[in-house]
Amino acid sequence: MTIVKAFASVKLIRFTGLLYLLVIICAGFSQGYVRGTLIVPGNAVETANNLLQNKGLFQLGLTTDLIAFLLDTVIAVMLYKIFKPFDKTLAMVSSAFRLIAHPAIGSLNLLNHYMALKVLESDSLLSSLDTAQVQQISASFLDAHHYGYLLAGSFFGVHCLLLGILIYRTGVFPKIFGGFMLGAAAGYLIESFGNFNVPGYEHYTALIVGVAAVLGEVGLTLYMLVKGATESYKNVRVSQK
């Protein structure tokens, strides 16, 4: 294989950016809108009523999450292909953490999302338990989903850390995005470890992640779509022809 073929094309980078944009839209819809709208923290009764009254929307949230995780599998492979010529081991480890985060942990965690609604519709449970108890079981599944999300976030935070290092070292994208991805990594890790070990600050950690993800992930995605890669990366590929 020639050196030219070893480098990812700008079209492939833009395609990866397109997939990343779809992931951001799908995940933002399911987590930010669906669960953010229907789940009332600390109120199992109101949450249960919201789920039953908006069953289609809640199920759509699961579907868009699953689509995002399926696309993330492809993104992990594409990112490996992009950075493999520069540091094969680091690129592989980075992509492995991304695969574990969402395609693995995130996908399995959707069972908790699904069961939160199913228990509310279960005739056997409703016949043996009172309504308040069933609603509490549903709330427990939603809590489990939330903590599963945090577990996935810890793996994704490490992925962002390694991706930031790859960006900074390789010059495929501007170094500033390497810094932004390090910030996103810090945000995800602070949220995951902070919410488990120092509860009560969830609002602040969510805000940190939101800002860091916009700067890092959204910024990088838009750059991939618009510019593809840095001119130096494009020139390296041209000089190898």
User: Which one has a higher pLDDT value, 153 or 3?
Assistant: 153
Count of domains forming the chain:
1
Are 213 and 184 contacting, i.e. CB atoms less than 8 angstroms apart?
yes
Are 184 and 177 contacting, i.e. CB atoms less than 8 angstroms apart?
no
pTM of the model: 0.90
pLDDT band for position 168 (50/70/90)? very high
Closest listed residue to residue 72, CA positions, set 34, 25, 36: 25
User: Which one has a higher pLDDT value, 129 or 200?
Assistant: 129
Rounded distance between C-alpha atoms, residue 58 and residue 34, angstroms: 6
**Mean of pLDDT values over 17-35:** 95
Closest listed residue to residue 143, CA positions, set 40, 23, 56: 40
**Mean of pLDDT values over 207-216:** 89
Rounded distance between C-alpha atoms, residue 229 and residue 207, angstroms: 29
Enclosing domain of residue 65: 3-239
Please check the confidence at residue 19 and state whether its pLDDT lies above 90. yes
Rounded distance between C-alpha atoms, residue 67 and residue 4, angstroms: 33
**SS3 of residue 51 by DSSP:** helix
The one-letter amino acid code at 154 reads: S
Rounded distance between C-alpha atoms, residue 122 and residue 10, angstroms: 51
User: Which one has a higher pLDDT value, 205 or 147?
Assistant: 147
Share above pLDDT 90 across residues of the chain, in percent, rounded to a whole number = 76
Output phi, psi for 2, to 5 deg. Answer: -80, 165
Closest listed residue to residue 161, CA positions, set 206, 222, 216: 216
